A and B are shown apart, each in its own frame.
Chain A
Amino acid sequence: MKKIMVVDDEESMRELIRAIMETSGYSVTTAVDGNDCIEKLRKEKPDLVIMDMMMPGMTGKETVEKIRSNPKTRDIKVMFLTVTTFSDIRKDEIKKLTVSDYVLKPFDNEDFLKRVSKALK
């Protein structure tokens, strides 16, 4: 069973992704923000981290930078979640952070699952 960690400050988003993923046979853990994520990654090793970009405290980008700078967590796959339709998704930056994909909210549940399984390959 593939393990997914959802990092979002929105409870409803965490609940939604948990519901979608669990009905499709994934095991899901959650973190409420960047710090919580970094803290939990000390003990857990998920196959994919799905992370909101816009969070209070550490942003999604900053959190990924931290994940990448630690040799123990460097290779964990990350997928961004964002509502942004503006140009602050800089593809070059995302490439630098070696993020597998980014999904815009709101999303289609089926499409979301497809992207997750693609990211896990």
Chain B
Amino acid sequence: MTLAISPRIASSNLSGILSLDSIKSADRSKRASRFGEYVESILDSIPDMILVVDSENTIIKSNDSARKALGLAKDDISGMHLNAVADIDMGKASHGSVPGTIKSVSGQIPTVFWAKRITDMQGEQCTIIVAKDDSGMATELKKKIDDLNSSYSQLFGYKEMMEESYEEFKKVSKKKDEFVSMVAHELKTPLAAIHGFSELLKNEKVFSDPKTREKYLGITIRETERLNRLVSQILDLSRIDLGTMNLNIERIDFSEILKIADENIRQRAEAKGLSLEFQIDRSIFIESDKERLIQIVLNLVDNAVKYTEHGSILVSAKADGTDIMFSVSDTGVGIPEEHFNKIFTRFYEVDSSFSRKVGGTGLGLSIVKEIVELFSGKIWFESKYGKGTTFFLRLPVKYRRPDEKITGN
């Protein structure tokens, strides 16, 4: 047997030399207990929680951190079963790190356990468990997940917005396509007539017959005028859509507008045997674009003449507070109720074969409505099929853009 005594101890302790065996055992136990203290203070200085359990999972040792977390004194914790203080699957824990919870004074703390099974000096199996508080990590992880979630929902929001915009774009684009195809149709039809009748007129036999020639030339001129009207209206719509319609706002006497309409339309009305009456109590002044105002009034009065075969047309204008109330009443064909909500739609005509005959393009009213809205006005109608129609127009006398708020005065 060899003795492992340091020379310093041997030399300072003479009795050790005298009674080597007794010195040896006393020193050993003293050192062992001191070593135990060292170990304990080392364990207590570790911030991680440390528990040692026996083969039955009864706690036989603990460190300060563990006791503090569990709120237990050293004497209380020894002998407790592991299950009373921690929720951990020991079967898994013996193979390395495993997550679980510690039943601490402040509730359940998410914990990462690391366990090592050893055999102690007495040959007993025990397990050293190191438990690391995971709540900090968990909080951080949770925060990251929350951040991710909010970014995701934000992204999802964007995605939905994009999808909505895309749907909107598709709708607008489809409407535009339909419009272009309608425009092509509307433009090509008079073109086809002009082309065809011109070709027919090239024929000597056709041309030499005055009646036929008159008829074909008449259609050609009529279709040219229609084409011209269509192009102007399409340009108007395009300007409205692009927001580039220039308005020259000036102070206008509304009775002057009615006079112009009268001069333009009276002949046509009287040719059909219709009475045309204009009613205006006095001069009403309005801030507006003269050309556009004439366009609106002419369109409405012209429509009334076109769609009326018998009776009368009454055009009236009067001041109503800060507005002008304008109306055009006829005793014409009227609008069937099923067409009420489509009357201002582009290219919409109640009876296209009839309206074509009277020179309609299906764009007039849609343009009127859009210009009226540019003047912050309102247009609507009342109609009884077979009895007649009245179009009403309310325009503010003081010009304001559609996006301008109404001020107190």
Contact = CB atoms under 8 A, between A and B. Distances in A.
Count class of interface residues, chain B: 20 to 34
Chain B interface, >50% SS class: helix
Interface string B225-267: 0000000000000000000000000000000000000000000
A105 B349 contact: no
A11 B199 contact: no
Interface stretch (B144-152, B188-196, B311-319, B376-384): B188-196
Chain A interface, >50% SS class: loop
Contacts of A108: 199
Interface in B337-381: 349, 352-353, 356-357
Interface of B: 181, 184-185, 188-197, 199-200, 203, 206, 216, 219, 222-223, 349, 352-353, 356-357
Count class of interface residues, chain A: 20 to 34
B217 to A, nearest CB: 13
Interface in A48-83: 54, 56, 83
Of all A-B residue pairs in the complex, the 4 with the closest CB atoms, nearest first, are A106-B192, A83-B188, A105-B192, A12-B193
A12 B221 CA distance: 11
27 contacts: A9-B353, A10-B189, A11-B356, A12-B193, A12-B223, A13-B189, A13-B192, A15-B193, A16-B196, A16-B197, A16-B200, A16-B219, A19-B196, A19-B197, A20-B196, A23-B206, A56-B349, A56-B353, A88-B181, A105-B188, A105-B189, A105-B191, A106-B196, A107-B195, A108-B199, A109-B199, A109-B200
A109 B196 CA distance: 6
A12 B190 contact: yes
Given A16-B196, A83-B192, A11 B353 contact: yes
A106 B353 contact: no
Interface of A: 9-13, 15-16, 19-20, 23, 32-33, 54, 56, 83-86, 88, 105-109
A94 B7 CA distance: 115
B357 A11 contact: yes
A20 B185 contact: no
Given A83-B189, A105-B189, 9 more contacts: A9-B352, A13-B193, A16-B192, A23-B206, A56-B349, A56-B352, A83-B188, A109-B199, A109-B200
